[in-house]
Amino acid sequence: MAPAPPPLPGFLSELAPVLDHWGYAAVAVLVFIEDFGVPVPGETVMIAAAVYAGAERLNVVAVACIAFSAAVLGDNVGYAIGRYGGRPLVTRYGRYVLLTEERLHKAQAFFVRHGGQIVTVARFIEGLRQINGIVAGMSEMPWRRFLAFNALGAALWVAVWVGLGYFAGQHLDTVYPAVERSELYLLAAVGVAAAVLIIRRMRRRKGG
């Protein structure tokens, strides 16, 4: 028998029980419900599953196909909610999934400025990714047009993150230590900046 692959490092170890138990189903369910407005870590689980695939724990083609299908279906559910439920439904129940009136207004304004193309790029924008289907439905965007942009965006989104995750999974021994080092450098820089700001404020108070 081939030896079991080593345990995955860092934040992936926290998602390991979910992926170990549910596998592809975790990707399907979490990506699906994230894409019609529920704040769950769908994108994160998809990336973690791609890393699993790179470490030979899952099949990368299956991860990509499931994530794409779930993303398209989830956004279509969001579109239906926005189109047939409208603002009254979203206003009444949106607060339960952190969809406030202010957030919805900003998303609609952004959607109006950029048109249908925003459905494609919305996949890569945190916050907008979860509600772009709802906003498209409320704006009465033609469904076929929405479906085309939505599928294109899902394909690009899955290709980028699954590709990067798969590559990282194949090179865990070199990629993850480098990420850890960069995080340490970033934390150190933030700490220094915070110390400088505190010292400046203290000096101003003394001078005042």
Per-residue model confidence as pLDDT tens digits over 40-71: 888 888 988 888 888 788 899 999 999 999 99
User: Taking the model in full, what pTM does it have?
Assistant: 0.71
Q: Distance between CA atoms of 95 and 93, rounded to whole angstroms?
A: 6
Check pLDDT > 80 for residue 197.
Answer: no
**Buried residues in 10-37 as b, exposed as e (16+ CB within 10 A):** eebeebeebbeeebbebbbbbbbbbbbb
Beta carbons within 8 Å of 146's beta carbon, 6+ residues apart: 79, 116, 119, 133, 136, 137
Residue with the two structure tokens 């915070």: 194
Check pLDDT > 60 for residue 21.
Answer: yes
